[in-house]
């Protein structure tokens, strides 16, 4: 494992601490007038999402975790597992739905995603900012119902429900923001 000094911390850096795998959200190097310098950090646990505040002496050594990011294509679902293919080696990988988290709401067959791996464990998924999904079910817009900004629920091909404008119908393709789960535009 690589050792990194607390003086060399950067936002987004992954660390392997006794508390678990964490990423640096924020850090501040403090040099008081009296005493030694120290580094105040805000760390986010990758697995649980909990935020920790830790203070370290300046130049203290910590274990840096190397996170491998692999671009993979989602092929199909096999029971509770999702099957991905590595775009460079063409190896297939079976991934549990819990490891993917909310990304399962936006994945459809043939889509690409960047899987963040630490050792042999998936610790995160990077999706495109927006995905195109087809609406499978929604109520028809009522003629004369023209309230500005009115929305109705629509079920997508992946099973998630998104609030869409009244003019959108079943079978339409729409763009959905993967960060917020909101409707962006009709395609």
Q: What is the pLDDT of residue 145?
A: 62
Q: What is the pLDDT of residue 151?
A: 85
Confidence of residue 144 (pLDDT cuts 50, 70, 90): low
Average pLDDT over residues 86-99: 89
Q: Do 106 and 155 fall into the same domain?
A: no
Q: What is the pLDDT of residue 175?
A: 93
Q: What is the pLDDT of residue 122?
A: 87
Alpha-carbon distance of 18 to 4, in angstroms, equals 15
Range of the domain at 38: 2-64
Place of tokens 């690409």: 112
Tokens of 87: 């775009």
Q: What is the pLDDT of residue 1?
A: 61
**CATH classification of the domain holding 17:** 2.30.30.30
Q: What is the pLDDT of residue 79?
A: 87
Q: Do 107 and 56 fall into the same domain?
A: no
pLDDT at 140 over 90: no
Q: What is the pLDDT of residue 55?
A: 93
Q: Do 41 and 59 fall into the same domain?
A: yes
Task: DSSP for the chain, please give it.
Answer: -EEEEGGG--TT-EEEETTEEEEEEEEEEE--SSS--EEEEEEEETTT--EEEEEEETT-EEEEP-PEEEEEEEEEEETTEEEEEETTT--EEEEEHHHHGGGGGT--TT-EEEEEEETTEEEEEEPPSEEEEEEEEEPPPPTT---TT-EEEEEETTS-EEEEETT--TT-EEEEETTT--EEEE-
Return the sign of the alpha-carbon dihedral for residues 137, 105, 126, 11: positive
Q: Do 113 and 145 fall into the same domain?
A: no
Q: Do 107 and 138 fall into the same domain?
A: no
Q: Do 14 and 57 fall into the same domain?
A: yes
**CATH classification of the domain holding 152:** 2.40.50.140
Q: Do 17 and 36 fall into the same domain?
A: yes
Q: CA 72, 78, 83 angle in degrees (round to 5)?
A: 10
Domain boundary among 45, 64, 83: 64
Domain boundary among 109, 126, 143: 126
Q: Do 60 and 74 fall into the same domain?
A: no
Q: Do 9 and 57 fall into the same domain?
A: yes
pLDDT at 109 over 80: yes
Tokens of 16: 């392997």
Q: Do 9 and 43 fall into the same domain?
A: yes
The total of structural domains in the chain comes to 3
Q: Do 42 and 86 fall into the same domain?
A: no
Percent of the chain surpassing pLDDT 90: 39
pLDDT at 28 over 90: yes
Confidence of residue 20 (pLDDT cuts 50, 70, 90): confident
Q: Do 6 and 58 fall into the same domain?
A: yes
Per DSSP bridges, beta strands 121-126 and 183-186 are unpaired
């Amino acid at each position: 494992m690589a050792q990194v000094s607390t003086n060399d911390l950067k936002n987004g850096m992954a660390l392997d601490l006794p508390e678990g795998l964490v990423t640096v959200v924020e850090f501040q190097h403090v040099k008081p007038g009296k005493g030694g310098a120290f580094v105040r950090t805000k760390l986010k646990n990758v697995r649980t999402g909990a935020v920790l505040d830790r203070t370290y002496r300046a130049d203290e050594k910590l274990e840096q975790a190397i996170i491998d990011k692999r671009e993979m294509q989602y092929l199909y679902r096999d029971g509770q597992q999702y099957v991905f293919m590595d775009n460079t080696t063409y190896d297939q990988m079976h991934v549990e739905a819990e490891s993917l988290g909310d990304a399962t709401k936006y994945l459809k067959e043939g889509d690409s995603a960047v899987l963040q791996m630490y050792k042999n464990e998936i610790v995160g998924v990077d999706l495109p900012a927006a995905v195109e999904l087809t609406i499978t079910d929604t109520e028809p817009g009522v003629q004369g119902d023209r309230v500005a900004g009115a929305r109705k629920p629509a079920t997508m091909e992946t099973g998630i429900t998104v609030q869409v404008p009244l003019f959108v119908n079943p079978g339409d393709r729409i763009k959905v923001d993967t960060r917020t789960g909101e409707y962006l535009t009709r395609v």
